[in-house]
Amino acid sequence: MTVLRVRGFKIFKDRHGKQRCYHRATGLSIDTEKNPIGSIEFISECNRVSEKIKQVKPKVGTLGQLIVDYKNSYTFQNLADNTRRDYQRVLQYLKEIEDIPLSKFNPALVVKIRDKTFSTKKRRFANYVKTVLSILFSWGRERGYINFNPAEKIKDIKPSKDAPRANRPWTDEECETILLEAEPHIRLPVAIMMHMAIGPKETFQLLKSAIRNNSINLERSKTKEAVFWRMPERLQQVLNETPTHNCITVCANSFGTPWTISGFNSSWQKFKARLYKEGKIGPHLTLYGLRHTVAKVMREMGYDERTIADALGQKTTQMARHYSRGADLEKKMIPVGAALDAEWNKRRTKVVKP
């Protein structure tokens, strides 16, 4: 089957199997219902968008010019799709101030932009705007657009004192309830995150080939650190109870196709909302909270911070690893995994009534 490619545009199928198309640099989407992919109308619409973008050139020496050049750079194009989309939302938001000369930017102006964003948006987005500005200015400083990074030392807006803790650890009861109540295609990803302390991205990218000799060995996408676990008993049980599928990934959705993060989040939020409404789980339960859960359990078991960091795949700047990273972790983590597995079973025994 011939795959259509149009320079500057992303063509893909969403989780419903519907074809989508958007302009990579600007995020502008093409209506594929009015302009079916591959048709003359579609090519004409892509050309129209491309020409329109070329005609709108930002002023030299402004934030707008820096944004355009950054988006056309290898640095931006080489980002993961999700990261690029997140950046694009911020860059689109900054379009209102793109005519400000770079020479006018200083820490006070960055704080003003951050605070104004906070007044109309959520705190997290306001902090993210500051972060993306810092990334932009850092890229521009290295290439002579600006002499310094005015956002470099600007602090984030702190949450209010009564704000719930982000990614709080799950209780033992919540862990057991989720695994008992979830359907198999949701239970397996959650069980992997719960017993391996990895995030959704690594979970849905986990290949069947990563499971060998009753062990799981992978690399965290964010830190590039190795993660090694002996297969926990409970995870093996969940894996055995999950319907087989032909995907190369360990996890698959109810259609037998690989999960996408957005697809899983949709199912997860509905499932979680039902359990919360029924009073079976507490509020503010997140998937990333499982990494905090594992760290909390290991700390309660008496493990040192370095071992917990290895379990979570976190980097350190204080020690160099002169030996094979995978070999070192395997030797160290086999007893850790066995002990943590036993601790999970002990906690589960306390929660599940006979």
Express each pLDDT in 230-277 by its tens digit. Answer: 888 889 999 999 999 999 999 999 999 999 888 999 999 999 999 999
Looking at per-residue pLDDT, the higher value among 30 and 56 belongs to 30
> Of the candidates 9, 40, 56, which is a domain's last residue?
56
Q: Which residues have C-beta within 8 Å of that of residue 332, sequence separation ≥ 6? A: 307, 310
Tokens of 76: 């931006």
- Asked if 116 and 193 sit in the same domain, the reply is no
How many domains would you assign to the chain?
Answer: 3
- Asked if 61 and 122 sit in the same domain, the reply is yes
Is 313 a member of any domain? yes
Task: Give the CA radius of gyration of the chain.
Answer: 24
Return the DSSP state at 56: -
pLDDT at residue 329 is higher than 80: no
- Asked if 149 and 266 sit in the same domain, the reply is no
Is 115 a member of any domain? yes
pLDDT for the residue numbered 223: 66
For the CA atoms of 187, 192, 198, 200, what is the dihedral angle to 10 degrees? -30
> Of the candidates 139, 162, 185, which is a domain's last residue?
162
DSSP line for 104-123: G--HHHHHHHHHHHHHHS-H
Phi and psi at 227, nearest 5°, equal -130, 125
Is 15 a member of any domain? yes
HSE, side-chain direction, 13 A CA sphere, residue 272 = 16
- Asked if 52 and 91 sit in the same domain, the reply is no
For 5, the domain range is 1-56
Mean pLDDT of 55-61: 76
Q: Residue 14: pLDDT band by 50, 70, 90 thresholds?
A: confident
pTM value?
0.62
Is 242 a member of any domain? yes
What is the CB neighbour count within 10 angstroms for residue 148? 12
Q: Residue 338: pLDDT band by 50, 70, 90 thresholds?
A: confident
* Cα–Cα distance, 38 to 3 (Å, whole number): 10
- Asked if 131 and 256 sit in the same domain, the reply is no
* Cα–Cα distance, 295 to 309 (Å, whole number): 8
pLDDT at residue 326 is higher than 60: no
- Asked if 65 and 45 sit in the same domain, the reply is no
pLDDT at residue 1 is higher than 60: no
Mean pLDDT of 294-299: 85
Is 96 a member of any domain? yes
pLDDT tens digits, 126-154: 999 999 999 999 999 999 999 999 999 89
- Quick one: residue 8, left, alpha or beta (phi over 0 = left, psi -120 to 50 = alpha)? left
Is 167 a member of any domain? no
- Asked if 142 and 9 sit in the same domain, the reply is no
Phi and psi at 212, nearest 5°, equal -140, 140
Tokens of 269: 């939020």
> Of the candidates 56, 74, 91, which is a domain's last residue?
56
- Asked if 282 and 187 sit in the same domain, the reply is yes
The residues pairing with 13 across neighbouring beta strands, listed in sequence order, are: 19
